[in-house]
Structure 1
Amino acid sequence: MTSNLINTLLVLSVLLVITINLSYFCTKETAHYSVVKDSRFSIENLTRSITITTASHTTPSSLIPPFIPFRSTFVTSPKYSLAACRIQKNLSTILLNLFCYLNTPRKFSRKASSLTIEFKNYLSQETCNATHATHIATNTTFSTKLAIIRDPVERFLSGFVDKCIHEAEHKDSRCYGCHKNMICVLKEQYIRFQLIAEAKLSSFSYEDRHFAPMSWFCDFDHETIKNYKFLYFGETEEQQGGTINELMDVLDDHGVDNSTISHILEELSANRTKHSTSGSAIRMKVGQEMRKNAEAMRLLYLIYENDYKVFNLKSPFAQT
């Protein structure tokens, strides 16, 4: 069989798969896929890059790549020369509250009762001092730039229980209407992350923001990632206590007074955010089922394996 014939058969196979996928997307509720009618979803545009790839005899990795530009938000405290990147499901609510308290302690204390609750209905982002500042990764104003990371699969599991089970009880459309079906959610996310990585999907969903690889946040790339101080958030109480203590050390190094640190430490040690699922019975049950499901682990591997490599974390996946 000649090389040209092989290439032709490969292209025809890819076209068939794309046609099936397009039919799949168009049958979903349009509210979930706001860009389905975009010209970028035409057969011509979707197949152009694949045809070029086939012609050059290269096969792209099936792993979701790291360092894709994504939605990044930061909290800053110019007074203490301190900034932090907020990654969803990695203490993002606590970081928002903490920096608001550092910047406006009196206003915060009057309007919000706890550092572990969401207070956005009480205090504006402007009051809290540029909580959505951008380009912090290369900003030399801040001597320390924090980012909190955790095991990627545990982060997904936490998000799945919080968003696809708890929140889905009141919002049928949450998690693409998959009705607590993890495989359904993972398949949806894998397809969407492929499209985002290829710059073919510009509208990010609520679920995208909570399940996207950590290496997509914070304006990370091969160079800017070196500018961050990382705190690892584990799954046990002991590990989480250690992270809180490390965070207090950072505040102390930046000149935050002892009474403020003591108050923050007391708040974070005594309370949990409403989004926390760590240690819950349902989290343990869903986690056990997930690890026994070969298809779930395969999809998790495809989505998050590069996060394990980027952040030098021990991967739970067998070599495939």
Structure 2
Amino acid sequence: MSQLTINTMCLLKDEESFMEGNHHLNETWLTKREDSCWSCKSDMRCVVREIYNGLKALQNHRDWKPIPTYMDLHSAPLSWNCNFDKDLAKWSLLMMGSDGEERKSSILQLGNILKRQGVSNDVLEKVQTESMDGETAHSTHKSSRRLDAERQVREDPVVRDYLHKIYFFDYLVFPFSRAPLDAKYQTDFWKIPENR
């Protein structure tokens, strides 16, 4: 999804160059991808612990601003971007799922958003067609490694605990359903009851 977003932004920023270069929204612009998962391999406990520690270091040292790593940028909570926590009402949110029907619905919504912003019909058609037409070269939503990672997320309480710590605030800022979260996080557990 990140590559599709980057390509769409490039198209919208400089339509003429994008079209003249005969670029496609599913192109992979990065020629070299580093093995960025530390040395965790398929150990999700290791991955989420490293993500948590890296993001915690960024959060705790805003005064000297360490340079975020590739993994920090890809795993940071959505609510850390664009002052979402303050200006959410100014944004049109687009929920994008990996399922084909969810993706199609989201792409149609994106088309409506772009149309309201005055984007040309040619660009609208390109975005809608190419977003549904295949995937980037490093797409993971159908890979066996992703399926194994998702299994670990469902079944391992340590992995789930880290993920809740990392992303819970996103569930407060955005209108996400809390149903997939563990029971404690489906409630407003941090609030003090008014009767006290």
Give TM class, smaller chain.
0.7 to 0.9
C-alpha contact 1:117 1:273 (8 A) present in aligned 2: yes
Shift of 1:232: 0.8
Aligned equivalents of 2:2, 2:145: Cα separation in 1? 22
Aligned equivalents of 1:190, 1:177: Cα separation in 2? 15
Asked if residue 210 in structure 1 is aligned to residue 74 in structure 2, the reply is yes
> Measured at CA, do residues 196 and 274 of structure 1 come closer, stay the same or move farther in structure 2, by a change above 3 Å?
same
> Measured at CA, do residues 240 and 92 of structure 1 come closer, stay the same or move farther in structure 2, by a change above 3 Å?
same
Match of 2:142 in 1: 279
Shift of 1:118: 3.4
How many residue pairs end up in the alignment?
180
The higher-RCO structure (CA 8 Å, 6+ apart) is: 2
Match of 2:11 in 1: 101
What is the root-mean-square deviation of aligned Cα atoms in Å?
Answer: 2.4
C-alpha contact 1:112 1:119 (8 A) present in aligned 2: no
Shift of 1:216: 0.6
> Measured at CA, do residues 102 and 216 of structure 1 come closer, stay the same or move farther in structure 2, by a change above 3 Å?
closer
Residue in structure 1 matching 2:41, options 174, 179, 199:
179
C-alpha contact 1:248 1:265 (8 A) present in aligned 2: yes
C-alpha contact 1:186 1:296 (8 A) present in aligned 2: yes
Matched residue type, 2:96: F
Which structure dedicates a bigger proportion of its chain to strand?
A: 1
Matched residue type, 1:180: S
Shift of 1:119: 4.1
Q: Which has the larger radius of gyration?
A: 1
> Measured at CA, do residues 296 and 268 of structure 1 come closer, stay the same or move farther in structure 2, by a change above 3 Å?
same
Aligned equivalents of 1:259, 1:191: Cα separation in 2? 45
Shift of 1:120: 7.1
In the TM superposition, what whole-angstrom CA distance separates every residue of 1:47-76 from its partner, at most 9, and x where no partner exists? xxxxxxxxxxxxxxxxxxxxxxxxxxxxxx
Shift of 1:189: 2.1
> Measured at CA, do residues 232 and 106 of structure 1 come closer, stay the same or move farther in structure 2, by a change above 3 Å?
same
Match of 2:25 in 1: 115
Report matched runs for 1:67-78 at 5 Å. none
Aligned equivalents of 2:171, 2:138: Cα separation in 1? 24
Asked if residue 270 in structure 1 is aligned to residue 180 in structure 2, the reply is no
Asked if residue 231 in structure 1 is aligned to residue 141 in structure 2, the reply is no
Shift of 1:203: 2.6
> Measured at CA, do residues 108 and 247 of structure 1 come closer, stay the same or move farther in structure 2, by a change above 3 Å?
same
Match of 1:160 in 2: none
TM-score by length of 2: 0.79
Shift of 1:115: 1.3
C-alpha contact 2:44 2:152 (8 A) present in aligned 1: no
In the TM superposition, what whole-angstrom CA distance separates every residue of 1:15-36 from its partner, at most 9, and x where no partner exists? xxxxxxxxxxxxxxxxxxxxxx
Structure 2 gap segments, 5+ residues each: 186-196
